[in-house]
Structure 1
Amino acid sequence: MIEPFLILATRSCVGYAKKVVNAIRRNPERLLLPDGFDYTEELSVLQFADGEMEVVLHNSVRGKTVFLFTTCARNEAGLSVESCKQELYHTIDVLQRSQAKEIIVFEPFISCSRSDRTTRRNSVGLWIHYKTLISLGADHLITYQLHSDKSKTIFDPCLCAVDDVPAISLLQRYLCEHVFMSTEKMNTFYRDSLLFCSVDAGGEKLAKGFASAFGTQLMVAHKQRSLEKANTVECINLLSAVPLKDKIIWIIDDMIDTGGSIYGLIQELSARECAEINVMIVHPVLSEPAAARLQELKDKGMIHRFVACDTIDCPATKRELSFMEVIESTTLSAHIVLTISLDRQMAPLIDGFSPLEYLERNGPFQES
């Protein structure tokens, strides 16, 4: 039996949730839901003078599945990471107390995902976040592109199901439509002239997946980080089977934070006389001074395209970086919500995307 569901959002993710709701309403599969679905903004936050808060729910969720959209990263409400987490935890508590049947937390980007292991005497942010969600009563967690596959060893599916949905299909679809555009170009011109590049050894698997999918060469950048200062790279070594001169480079990574790694890498590639250097990421974290670094590279003609998904709120960054292109993820998020609500398998959304099949079925595309 298909149960009715409700979509809610914390203050940090209201705009994103509304786009997901609109995408669901445009999707004909919504007609398979006998009781439809509801979207409500009936959550409010009481902020006390001493900094404490309470979240108030103004309508009933008894017996309903609730998709709670939230983010603790940069957000439309301008809330800090700490405020976002506090509000999220309070919201799950009020949903549990209001006897929601199932609480599904949809967090497009988990901001603490890089803190996923112990290397010395340090806390593990992802573990703390996950354990807090479980203890409060979250039943299911959905996110895009966790920082590392090793992160998944933290999760216990017996306590809380986790779906880490790859955003690779969104990026590869963009490349099909705006770069390769046809199977002929992919199999001839780009096969020898384009390379996918990882920012570091840890990102090799991601970049290698792109090189394999499009049948091109792979380059790996090995960076030596400073042991004294965080977010600082001392030197970069490039590993490539072919000369880089006159090649089109697409740097692939899951995120950019301060931009230190990408800044040094692009300068190194530019010195190798590459024809074109492009950057494609999933999560545009873009902490200071990332935007200034990217703009400097653009002004110097070192970077051609910069593409990112909207898993983190982008409007302010888009105004600062006018050349930034944003891939929307809300249609895929809507599809995920419908897939779960209709009790269908997630495999088609998680399994690999085939650029060749996509171009054969939908191409050729025209230059925009």
Structure 2
Amino acid sequence: MPGRGKIQIFSGRSSEEYATEVLQNLRNLNEYTSKFVDLAGEKQVKLFSNGEMEVEILTSVRKKDIYIIQHTSNRNCQMLSTHENKIELYHLVDALKRSHAGSITVFEPFISCSRSDRAYARNSSGLAIHFKTLVSIGANHIITYQIHSEKSKMMVDPVTAYIDDIPLYPVIQRYILKEFVKTRDYFHDVVHNNWAICSVDAGGEKVARNFADIFSCQLIIANKRRSYSKTNTIEGVSLLTDESIEGKTVWVIDDMIDTAGSIVELLKALKEKKPAQVNVAVVHPVLSGPGISRLIELHDLKYLDNLMVCDTIWISDQMKKDLPFMQIIPTAPLAADIIYKTNIGESLSVYYDPVNPYHVLNY
């Protein structure tokens, strides 16, 4: 029996399509969840002429286990800004708290301010502000996917709330194994000897090394020289590896791709080493500014063969048309399972377990 009361799911306007997919997957999860009724909570967002907002909850949520699904990226089907999405999320939490919800979990697949996680001198920390605001107005649980820095979780005081950062690298690993490797023979004969995993920068070495260990293949560490006079700008990249990558398939792994500046310089450096194929796999497809046009150019120049992304941020039909070489890895089934396990009090540790290729591959 559920330990946190009846589940009810609300969505911010930026994530309505994703929330609908989660609801469908939750109903189809097992025999118990198939009996769930009235899962979707109703709300009304009121916008005033002076720019202010108000959210009204139209469903009784008293003592219920509430989940708010909302990413705060400015790329969404409603064309809402990052700031509008944040304010709507804060209003949703406040309205639900005032409506006597039993528990309030903010499920934020992508936290747009996740890179603003440090204060160097007199600058603000967007992530600290975001977490403090959510907790202070009533959220007692935050769930997200692959936050930019593991240390960021320390910003949430477990006395007042707790955070679950669910890694999506295992999801990507399983996808690559199923769609690109497929069989154990190919894994042994081709992947071990003719694949290489490359980090985007030195900070991504741990992740790249994990992938290289899973696939038992060559590791490449990229060291990028960032411009500190201009944001989102890379001055150059050097590659560190003991073996040649000529004629091999290279996989570049990162947690997100934004303007694609890092990828451009890295793929140029890789091209000089004459690999047979270069694929990029990332969790969050931020793709702001020139990001999409840069990827199109990289593909046209034969620098980039395949792009894998998760659906943590809305991807329009036009983007799919512009990037036919992009494959989208669905995460709504995972979100449904996370919500179910959270509701019944089951451990989430299974999501942190390392991937065993032999449990995924065919004979």
Q: Quote the offset at 1:130 in angstroms.
A: 0.3
One-letter identity of the residue aligned with 2:153: K
The 8 Å contact of residues 225 and 232 in structure 1, kept in 2 or not, is answered as yes
SS in 2 for 1:142: strand
Q: Quote the offset at 1:98 in angstroms.
A: 0.3
1:255 aligns to what?
Answer: 256
The 8 Å contact of residues 4 and 65 in structure 1, kept in 2 or not, is answered as yes
Separation (CA, whole Å) in 2 of partners of 1:101 and 1:152: 23
1:348 aligns to what?
Answer: 350
Separation (CA, whole Å) in 2 of partners of 1:241 and 1:339: 44
Q: Quote the offset at 1:199 in angstroms.
A: 0.3
One-letter identity of the residue aligned with 2:238: N
- Alignment deviations for residues 31-82 of structure 1 (CA, whole Å, 9 cap, x no partner): 4x8x735333511111111110100111210110101100101212111000
Separation (CA, whole Å) in 1 of partners of 2:27 and 2:303: 42
Matches within 5 A, 1:164-183: 164-183=165-184
Q: Aligned-pair RMSD on alpha carbons?
A: 1.3
1:239 aligns to what?
Answer: 240
Separation (CA, whole Å) in 2 of partners of 1:120 and 1:272: 41
- Alignment deviations for residues 174-195 of structure 1 (CA, whole Å, 9 cap, x no partner): 1111111112221222111100
Separation (CA, whole Å) in 1 of partners of 2:293 and 2:32: 43
Separation (CA, whole Å) in 2 of partners of 1:103 and 1:41: 13
Q: Quote the offset at 1:322 in angstroms.
A: 1.9
1:55 aligns to what?
Answer: 55
SS in 2 for 1:224: strand
- Alignment deviations for residues 3-40 of structure 1 (CA, whole Å, 9 cap, x no partner): 21101101111110000011111111534x8x735333
1:25 aligns to what?
Answer: 27
Separation (CA, whole Å) in 1 of partners of 2:160 and 2:208: 33
- Unaligned 5+ segments in structure 1 are none
Please, which of 335, 339, 360 is the counterpart of residue 358 of structure 1? 360
SS in 2 for 1:39: coil
Separation (CA, whole Å) in 2 of partners of 1:329 and 1:50: 37
Separation (CA, whole Å) in 1 of partners of 2:298 and 2:36: 49
- Unaligned 5+ segments in structure 2 are none
Q: Quote the offset at 1:247 in angstroms.
A: 1.4
One-letter identity of the residue aligned with 2:38: D
Matches within 5 A, 1:100-115: 100-115=101-116
SS in 2 for 1:164: strand
Larger mean Cα displacement after TM superposition, 181-190 or 250-259: 181-190
Kindly indicate whether residue 14 of structure 2 is the aligned counterpart of residue 39 of structure 1: no
Larger mean Cα displacement after TM superposition, 319-328 or 225-234: 319-328
Separation (CA, whole Å) in 2 of partners of 1:90 and 1:272: 52
The 8 Å contact of residues 62 and 102 in structure 2, kept in 1 or not, is answered as yes
Separation (CA, whole Å) in 1 of partners of 2:92 and 2:207: 34
The 8 Å contact of residues 42 and 57 in structure 1, kept in 2 or not, is answered as yes
Matches within 5 A, 1:300-311: 300-311=301-312
Identity %: 42
The 8 Å contact of residues 7 and 38 in structure 1, kept in 2 or not, is answered as no
2:190 aligns to what?
Answer: 189
One-letter identity of the residue aligned with 2:103: E
The 8 Å contact of residues 178 and 360 in structure 2, kept in 1 or not, is answered as no
SS in 1 for 2:38: strand
The 8 Å contact of residues 6 and 37 in structure 1, kept in 2 or not, is answered as no
1:15 aligns to what?
Answer: 17
Separation (CA, whole Å) in 2 of partners of 1:219 and 1:151: 27
Matches within 5 A, 1:193-272: 193-272=194-273
Q: Quote the offset at 1:350 in angstroms.
A: 2.2
Separation (CA, whole Å) in 1 of partners of 2:348 and 2:248: 37
One-letter identity of the residue aligned with 1:26: N
One-letter identity of the residue aligned with 1:10: G
The 8 Å contact of residues 41 and 59 in structure 2, kept in 1 or not, is answered as no
Q: Quote the offset at 1:256 in angstroms.
A: 0.4
Separation (CA, whole Å) in 2 of partners of 1:5 and 1:178: 34
Q: Quote the offset at 1:122 in angstroms.
A: 1.2
Separation (CA, whole Å) in 2 of partners of 1:152 and 1:56: 30
The 8 Å contact of residues 5 and 37 in structure 1, kept in 2 or not, is answered as no
1:65 aligns to what?
Answer: 65
The 8 Å contact of residues 247 and 274 in structure 1, kept in 2 or not, is answered as yes
The 8 Å contact of residues 8 and 39 in structure 2, kept in 1 or not, is answered as yes
SS in 2 for 1:38: coil
SS in 1 for 2:32: helix
Q: Quote the offset at 1:357 in angstroms.
A: 2.4
Q: Quote the offset at 1:353 in angstroms.
A: 2.0
Matches within 5 A, 1:305-344: 305-315=306-316, 316-344=318-346
Q: Quote the offset at 1:136 in angstroms.
A: 0.4
The 8 Å contact of residues 194 and 247 in structure 1, kept in 2 or not, is answered as yes
Matches within 5 A, 1:57-136: 57-73=57-73, 74-136=75-137
Larger mean Cα displacement after TM superposition, 35-44 or 64-73: 35-44
Q: How many residues align?
A: 359
2:153 aligns to what?
Answer: 152
SS in 2 for 1:197: strand
Separation (CA, whole Å) in 2 of partners of 1:258 and 1:67: 31
